[in-house]
Amino acid sequence: MHPAPDHDTSARRVPRAPGPAPARTPAPAGGAEDGIADRLADVAPRLLAAYRRELPPARAAVLGRLWRALLHEPLPGVTARDPDGGRVDLADGRVLSGPPRLPHDLVVPGEEMTVRLDGRVHDRPAALLAALGLPGATALVTELDHSVASLALSRAGAADTEGGGRAGTEAGAGAGADGAPGDPLASVEQGIVDGHPYHPCCRSRPGLSVAEQLAYAPEHRPVVRLDLVAVPAATCRVAGQWPARLRDGDRLLLPVHPWQSEHVLPGLGHLPYVTGAIPARPLMSVRTLAPLDGGPHLKTALTTRMTSAIRDISPGGVENSAPLSALLAHVVADLAGTFRITRNLAGASALVRGGPSADLAVLLRESPAAAAGLRAGETIVPVAALAARPAGDGPPLIRTLLASAGAPDAGADWLAAFAALAVPPLLRLLARGVAPAAHGQNLLVVLDAHARPRRLVYRDLADVRLSPDRLARHGYDAAPVGGRVIDDDPAVLRTLLFGHLFGTTFGTLVSALADRDRTAGARLWAAVAAAAHRAYDGLPATPENRADRAVLFAPELRIKALTLMRLRGADHDAWIPVANPLAGTSPHRKCTS
């Protein structure tokens, strides 16, 4: 594979005279690694030895993600990239070298992960980025340092078996054992220890103390006790039917994350009406929780940065929640046998200083297990969990499931079955004007007792984009929905769906199943491409569908540039082209007219 071209000159090998050395970004003094060790000695000393053991593999995991970005993203200060050769040329004439990487490659535990800068070995990602002196890197250096330390803490906590999850003493939140009751999905999601598969800030949690990470982060398997804030109904914006159990006379009782109660609500003039009222288990997004007594999942505001974004709930998200849910339920109704959505049941935001607050808001969302209509012997898992490795660096979950089902070498058959299940409904939705962000956290799969994929569930409707024009041509009215989810630009719709579904979801699955065997990986991608060709063969050959198909099989696939986004310091998405693993595949038959 050749280096993926960009729409600028950054990927061309243009000889340059070395310029003046850039100003170096200093590595964090002392560093988060020592800081977390010091706090662990106070709040959870039993984890200290495991934490120190996990620091080297955590550095390798974060460095591997950073190296992927250096090889594939057009970062400032980089003039040429050769992913096949493992080489990056800098504007000042220096050269980085390391192992070759495809864009979808996952970090392999135990793999030697060092990067050389002009021959000098680097094994610490924050120190490497500081030495590069890339524009805008100061904040990211600190985040990488914190990501390594938090990842080591996550691995140490996940491997700790003394009573399951524990709460840190500073956080004031209860903690329960792994066997606590509640939605079984929580146990699966809490097994995802290493976080985002491609983001170097996979575990950066700068707003949470060590005790708060132990108390609130899902991989530590805590029970988080949500507070209730009482707000007069007249000073709330409500969408959907607010449940009677969360009312007190003429006041609404808004579930609030305890971190938010402590750090944010006092500045808004609010205090909890009841503390610790709803025991719940955090899912992989940290701020969405499954109550122990069942019922809807609670998506809360958690106004601190996790990987790339501040986790609040926008007023538009609340306002859109009910009409968007109703519209999408209508659009996917005929796909319900294989594809379902989790409905937004209700949402509310309190008025603060005259407007609805993103910091004091909550969404009540149907649980994926309820939406899936699970039958005997079936389980539901986020696709992200299938590609993830457990604490202790065992094989990815999908390989363990296939081996347990007696089919250890059935990866290609499984992926073909999953592609046949997932690709047709999602491409059909795009044709209708709906582009879900179908990455591994939002897309869940129902597996039968033999680990075979049976149905899909999509959650987090706020990440969807809608084309009113396309919807109208298929008889659907998007008028009740507004805000950022509306976009008629076909490039936006295609990028959102294709980048997440093929660049991330299938990318992680192919990587997990092939385990760096390039021949096996090519066969797996061929199975995905075949499913996409068959799906388009089954759609009307309209100009839009033909154009969508052409983009999907073009030489380049656009994926999210996660590190570039952090260097820019902006929360809006940045997408870049990489070599498309689906390109060059031939359809089994031509499009029908």
DSSP code string of 295-364: SSEEEE-EEEEETTEEE---HHHHHHHHHHHHHHHHHTGGGTTTEEEPPEEEEEEEEETTEEEEEEEEEE
Number of domains in the chain: 3
Around Cβ 550, how many Cβ atoms within 10 Å?
A: 11
Within a domain: 408: yes
pLDDT value at 8 more than 90: no
Q: What pLDDT is stored for residue 406 in this prediction?
A: 75
Residues 471 and 263: their CA atoms lie apart, in Å, by 42
- Of residues 526 and 22, the one with the higher pLDDT is 526
Is residue 344 predicted with pLDDT exceeding 50? yes
How many angstroms from the chain centroid is the CA of residue 247?
Answer: 33
Handedness of CA 74, 75, 79, 85 (dihedral sign): negative
pLDDT at site 585? 65
pLDDT at position 391, please?
A: 74
CA distance 356 to 164: 38
In a domain, 532, yes or no: yes
Determine the pLDDT at residue 170.
32
234 and 110 in a common domain: no
Same domain, 208 and 258: no
Q: What's the pLDDT score for residue 430?
A: 98
Token pair 């991330």 in the structure block, residue: 504
**Res. 318: pLDDT tops 90:** yes
Q: How many CB atoms lie within 10 A of CB 409?
A: 9
Residues 230-247 as b/e (b if ≥16 CB within 10 A, e otherwise) read bbeeeebbbbbebeeebe
Distances (CA, A) of 586 to 413, 428, 526, 580: 20, 20, 9, 14
Question: Which residue, of 163, 190, 215, is where some domain finishes?
Answer: 215
Tokens of 177: 């054992």
Is pLDDT above 50 for 309?
A: yes
* Average pLDDT rounded to a whole number, residues 173-182: 43
> Do 487 and 565 belong to one domain?
yes
Q: What's the token pair of residue 340?
A: 């379902």
Residue 467 sits in the same domain as residue 556: yes
Q: How many CA atoms lie within 13 A of 225 on its CB side?
A: 13
Give the model's pLDDT for residue 3: 34
Q: Are 283 and 402 in the same domain?
A: no
Instruction: Please name which of 435, 424, 502 lies closest in space to residue 465, comparing C-alpha atoms.
Output: 435
For residues 563 and 593, is the Cβ–Cβ distance under 8 A?
Answer: no
pLDDT at 20 over 50: no
Which of 251-260, 440-449, 470-479, 576-585 is the least confident region?
A: 576-585
Kindly report which listed range (43-47, 164-168, 298-302) carries the lowest average pLDDT score. 164-168
In a domain, 588, yes or no: no
pLDDT at 28: 60
What residue spans of 160-209 are helical by DSSP H? 185-189
Q: Judge whether 439 and 560 are in contact, CB under 8 Å.
A: no
Query: Pairing state of beta strands 453-458 and 339-341?
Result: parallel
Q: What is the pLDDT of residue 166?
A: 36
Q: Which domain holds residue 38?
A: 1-171+182-215
Residue 413 — pLDDT band, cuts 50, 70, 90? very high
According to the model, what pLDDT value does residue 172 have? 33
Mean pLDDT value of segment 195-204: 92
* pTM > 0.75: yes or no: yes
How many other C-beta atoms lie within 10 A of the C-beta of residue 408?
12
Reading the block at residue 70, the tokens are: 């250096």
The last residue of one of the domains, among 322, 345, 366, is 366
| Nearest alpha carbon to residue 472 among 560, 395, 544, 377 | 544
Residue 585 lies in a domain: no
147 has which bridge partners?
Answer: none
CA atoms in the 13 A half-sphere facing the CB of 315:
9
* Secondary structure, 3-state, 101-157: CCCCCCCCCCCCCCEEECCEEECCHHHHHHHHCCCCCHHHHHHHHHHHHHHHHHHHH
Mean pLDDT calculated for residue range 345-373: 95
Mean pLDDT of 91-119: 92
284 & 393 share domain: no
Q: Is 194 contained in some domain?
A: yes
Rounded to whole angstroms, how far apart are CA atoms 91 and 392? 40
Shared-domain flag, residues 544 and 561:
yes
Cα Rg of the chain, angstroms: 24
Whether 190 is covered by a domain: the verdict is yes
Stretch 381-388: mean pLDDT: 96
Could you tell me the end-to-end alpha-carbon distance of the chain, in angstroms, rounded to an integer?
35
pLDDT at 345 over 90: yes
The reply to whether 592 falls in a domain is no
> Which residues, at least 6 apart from 574, have a Cβ–Cβ distance to it below 8 Å?
560, 561, 564, 565, 568
Tell whether 321 and 189 lie within a shared domain: no
Specify whether the CB–CB gap between 381 and 277 falls below 8 A.
Answer: no
* Residue 101 · residue 111 · CB < 8 Å: no
- Domain with residue 382: its CATH number is 1.10.510.40
More confident residue, 90 or 5: 90
Taking CA atoms, 298 is separated from 270, 585, 586, in Å, by: 20, 43, 45
Q: Calculate what percentage of the chain has a pLDDT beyond 70.
A: 88
**Which pLDDT score is estimated for 590?**
39
Residue 458: its H or E element: strand 453-458
Q: Clarify whether residues 300 and 387 are in a common domain.
A: no
CA atoms of 129 and 64, how far apart (whole Å): 13
Close Cβ partners of 75 (under 8 Å, ≥ 6 residues apart): 69, 134, 563, 564, 567
- Whether residue 399 is found in the same domain as residue 538: yes
Tell me, what's the pLDDT at 158?
Answer: 86
Q: Which has the closest alpha carbon to 323: 442, 240, 237, 436? A: 240
Query: Quick one: pLDDT at residue 409?
Result: 64
187 and 241 inside one domain: no
Q: Within 10 A of 590 (CB to CB), how many other CB atoms are there?
A: 9
Residue 586 binned pLDDT confidence (cut-offs 50, 70, 90): low
Question: Is residue 102 pLDDT above 70, yes or no?
Answer: yes
Q: What is the mean pLDDT of the chain?
A: 88
Give ∠ CA 287-292-295 in degrees, rounded to 5: 80
Query: Average pLDDT of 535-549?
Result: 97
Greatest CA span in the chain, whole angstroms? 74
**CB atoms closer than 10 angstroms to residue 526:** 16
d(Cα 137, Cα 130) in Å, to the nearest integer?
7
Q: Residue 105 has which token pair?
A: 């490659």
Contacts of 496 (CB under 8 A, 6+ apart): 435, 436, 437, 465
Closest CA to 20 of 80, 77, 88, 92: 92
pLDDT of residue 37: 96
In a domain, 188, yes or no: yes
Q: Which two tokens stand for residue 442?
A: 């939002």
Q: What is the mean pLDDT of residues 531-549?
A: 97
Calpha distance 26→183 (Å, rounded): 45
Please say if the pLDDT value at position 303 is more than 90: no
Mean pLDDT value across residues 247-269: 96
Residues 6+ apart with CB under 8 A from 581: 102, 104, 502, 507, 510, 521, 525, 557
Question: Do 290 and 382 lie in a common domain?
Answer: no
Among 339, 366, 393, identify where a domain stops: 366
d(CA 81, CA 4): 9
